[in-house]
């Protein structure tokens, strides 16, 4: 398989089809295949939200907080017609550079997610991936200083912003479309509670737990509100 070939070339382990894990301390820019755009850098956990959307078949997807672009590349590689949006012009330049390097196609838009409307995008989307701004408490293993660097004072505003972004994203979906909401947070207020409250606010919005049952996802990771990685 393609994954097995690159595992040999890079001396890597494979935890999932299409994903390789390298040993620490390697400069990725110098590895075989980087300049050729044969692969991109993305955490395994970060790859799961787009995997849940499956193959695109040319349908339209919006990556609503796209930078630095891993999920945009992944959606494009899965056959979606992607619009990648982020408020940061500098970070969107990195998305465009990664698209150019890999030869994958996406429309790149620098804008405020809450001000972007479907008319600007030529109608609604079949799928939206909302990797929302959050407390980043899920990154403590990599950033053990985080509990000392943040006192939690900004978390309330982030939780409110997430709810606003969910509500706005739903206005950008076609009828029957799918929204994947994800955060890198240990706090239920930024995960399970957001899902519960969104379902209560929006009549006709349903939680498709069957879509979470994919290879590599343990059944006990799936709760009534969705997927909680361990």
By annotation, the residues acting in catalysis are 184
CA triplet 46, 179, 59: central angle to 5 degrees? 95
- CA atoms of 62 and 99, how far apart (whole Å): 15
- For the four alpha carbons of 135, 216, 43 and 143, in that order, the dihedral sign comes to positive
Q: What are phi and psi of 94, to 5 degrees?
A: -70, -40
Dihedral Cα 161, 164, 168, 173, nearest 10 deg = 90
Comparing CA positions, the residue from 64, 95, 58, 73 lying closest to residue 173 is: 64
């Amino acid at each position: 398989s393609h994954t097995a070939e690159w595992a040999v070339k890079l001396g890597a382990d494979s935890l999932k089809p299409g994903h390789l894990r390298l040993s620490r301390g390697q400069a990725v820019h110098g590895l075989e295949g980087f300049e050729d755009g044969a692969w991109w850098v993305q955490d395994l956990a970060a790859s799961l939200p787009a995997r849940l959307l499956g193959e695109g078949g040319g349908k339209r997807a919006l990556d609503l907080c796209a930078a630095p672009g891993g999920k945009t590349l992944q959606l494009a590689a899965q056959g979606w017609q992607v619009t990648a949006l982020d408020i940061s012009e500098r970070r969107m330049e990195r998305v465009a550079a990664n698209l150019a390097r890999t030869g994958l196609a996406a429309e790149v838009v620098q804008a405020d997610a809450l001000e972007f409307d479907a008319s600007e995008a030529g109608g609604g989307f079949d799928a939206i991936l909302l990797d929302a701004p959050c407390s980043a408490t899920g990154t403590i293993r990599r950033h053990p200083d985080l509990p000392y660097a943040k006192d939690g004072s900004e978390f309330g505003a982030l939780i409110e912003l997430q709810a606003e972004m969910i509500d706005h994203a739903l206005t950008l979906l076609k009828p029957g479309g799918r929204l994947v909401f994800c955060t890198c947070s240990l706090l239920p207020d930024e995960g399970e509670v957001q899902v519960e409250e969104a379902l209560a606010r929006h009549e006709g919005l349903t939680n498709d737990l069957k879509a979470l049952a994919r290879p590599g996802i343990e059944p006990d990771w799936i709760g009534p509100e969705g997927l909680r990685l361990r």
